[in-house]
Amino acid sequence: MRQFGKKKTEVKDTIKTLPSHLNYLNKLFQKVEWDEKILADWLKELVDELDGDEGAIFLRDDDNLICKVTTGTTSLVEGRKISKKKGLGGWLFQSNKPTFIPVAKKDIRFDPSENIFDPAPESIVASPILFKEDTYGIIQINRKKPNNPFILTNAKRLFEISNILGFYLSYLNLIKRERKEEKKEKRLEEELSFSIVAHSIPIGFFIINEDLRILFVNNFALKTLGFQNDEAIGKKCREVIISNDKKGDIPLLDEILSKFPEKEYFQSPLHLLRKDGHEITVAFGASPFKFDGKNFAVLYFTNPAEWEMVYSKEDEFITNVAHELRTPLFAILGSLSILETELKRTNNLPPTIQSFLNIIREEGEKYTNILNALLDFDEVSKWNIGLKKDTFQILELVKKVAESYKQKSKEKNITIEVDFPPESIQISGDKLAIQYAFSHLIDNAIKFNKPEGTVIISTEGLKLRDSSWNFEIVIRDTGLGIPESEIPYLFGKFYRVEKEIHTISGFGLGLTIVKDIIDMHGGDITIESEVDKGTTVTIQLPTMEI
């Protein structure tokens, strides 16, 4: 342990009080675990010895120091954090030396924004908690009254006791590592099996302990909420699982996460906030369990609740509703067309009336598209497309589809580029179905693009997939992009990307239909995207007959 030089009078004081501090150390070793009561008693004796008014022990936690034990203060400081990179904590961690601050408010090492004591101390003595090369935290002791500053002797004494505490914390870390290794060896097979399953299922879940701290989180939950593993493990679950939903004036998650959930809980729908601030809709639940006599709980969320709830509805009901609505809608649009023809004969048609007519037509056409999408989906889901075994030139078909969108792209100031080789490639399948699929993908690339954007349609040639040759076509755009966490849901029925990103209305069936068509032809479709940079859709279709 590090020592400073001492005068003879200081040695006497040290010898007098050292047995008392070693007695506390002995008590902690007998406990073989962190004991806040013993540490609080020890801290109080140290504060009294240095004629201080209040004190606190802070332990390191990533980039912060967390207040673990206090004495003599009426401030609610336990559990609060200060930085270990700036202020007093930063100075102690960088220098690995004790310090005393005679007048805190005039010292540059005292950062008021990092102070958690109220009122702010007048004088401070503080020391890093060290053992060998490791720094575990700091001890801070304050005096509240002015004109009674700490001196160098106080700093030296505090440093000696801090080293004793550092020795104990080093021992605790060693015990924890040994226990961890024992458990790891004992349960390696079980943990391996659990880890493989947990990280592969498309359901996000956390395992929390009785203190509501996260012990485990699977990849799906991390990816969906936008966190890294080290940003979640060990944190309170309310720091990671965040929702603004309320029941009256009370936050909805307070019902389950303000204390350990002692019974099954389920909430659908619930809106969770990702790390980037975007909101997603999920079905959320909790399930408590006991292991080795201790309480734990699984917190889980499924795919977005809106998708899941609608997905469970009968397709027949949706189709019947679409048919019933389409008949009166056609009658409205037909009557509107006749009315517009008659009104054109009136040269002085008021602008207001013309504006209302335009609104009626636009909204009518929007709902016609929605109903058609529902009926298209019904055709695909029932295999009514038929998978005709026509042989046709796939590149020629895609070129014609791209050509049909030239006017629409021109109106939106978007360029379509087709980069195909001169040779022809034949595939076997339903020509109309494939045409529908590529029409929808190219339409999306234009619809969700940026002004002066580009859509590039190209081929990567033949690719070997599942022991058969597939022809690959790639559609790239320079558009709005899609958050990575939403890509797994894109082919689900009725799923819509976050409205903050994709503001154009739709019914969430187009990509579902496209994927069903490609799957029925024995092909494959994948999507890669980055927000504000664009989206790439890759389609593979067998070159042999299906």
pLDDT digits (tens, 9 = 90+) for 402-422: 998 888 888 889 999 999 888
Task: Look at residue 264 and tell me whether its pLDDT is greater than 70.
Answer: yes
pLDDT digits (tens, 9 = 90+) for 209-260: 988 999 999 988 998 899 998 999 999 998 999 988 876 677 878 777 888 8
Lowest average pLDDT, out of 90-94, 168-172, 388-392, 532-536, goes to: 388-392
Task: Look at residue 319 and tell me whether its pLDDT is greater than 90.
Answer: no
pLDDT digits (tens, 9 = 90+) for 77-133: 788 889 888 888 888 988 888 999 988 788 788 888 888 888 889 999 999 998 888
Q: Quote the pLDDT of residue 192.
A: 53
Task: Look at residue 307 and tell me whether its pLDDT is greater than 60.
Answer: no
Quick check: 40 and 69 in contact, CB under 8 A? Answer: yes
CA distance 164 to 69: 16
* DSSP letters for 298-330: EEEE-S-HHHHHHHTS-HHHHHHHHHHHHHHHH
CA distance 28 to 48: 20
Q: Name which residue leads in pLDDT, 352 or 16.
A: 352
The edge-to-edge listing of strands for the beta sheet with 54-61 is: 81-83, 64-71, 54-61, 134-143, 123-131, 99-101
Quick check: 73 and 57 in contact, CB under 8 A? Answer: no
3-state secondary structure 41-83: HHHHHHHHHCCCCEEEEEEEECCEEEEEEEECCCCCCCCCEEE
Looking at residues 520-540, what average pLDDT do you find? 90
Q: Is the peptide bond before 304 cis (omega within 30 degrees of 0)?
A: no
Reported confidence tier of residue 280, pLDDT bands at 50, 70, 90: confident
Q: Name which residue leads in pLDDT, 17 or 66.
A: 66
Its sign, for the CA torsion 31, 134, 51, 70, is negative
Reported confidence tier of residue 281, pLDDT bands at 50, 70, 90: confident
Percentage of the chain modeled with pLDDT above 70: 79
User: Phi/psi at 198 (nearest 5 deg)?
Assistant: -60, -40
Nearest partner of 204 among 227, 222, 229, judged by Cα: 222
Looking at residues 138-154, what average pLDDT do you find? 91
pLDDT digits (tens, 9 = 90+) for 174-211: 888 877 777 766 665 555 566 676 777 778 889 999 88
Quick check: 114 and 104 in contact, CB under 8 A? Answer: no
Reported confidence tier of residue 4, pLDDT bands at 50, 70, 90: very low
Reported confidence tier of residue 375, pLDDT bands at 50, 70, 90: low
Looking at residues 360-374, what average pLDDT do you find? 67
Q: Report residue 232 as tokens.
A: 């979640």
Lowest average pLDDT, out of 128-142, 144-158, 248-262, goes to: 248-262
- Choose the most confident range, by mean pLDDT, from 57-71, 300-314, 513-527: 57-71
Q: Quote the pLDDT of residue 371.
A: 64
Q: Quote the pLDDT of residue 370.
A: 59
Task: Look at residue 386 and tell me whether its pLDDT is greater than 80.
Answer: no
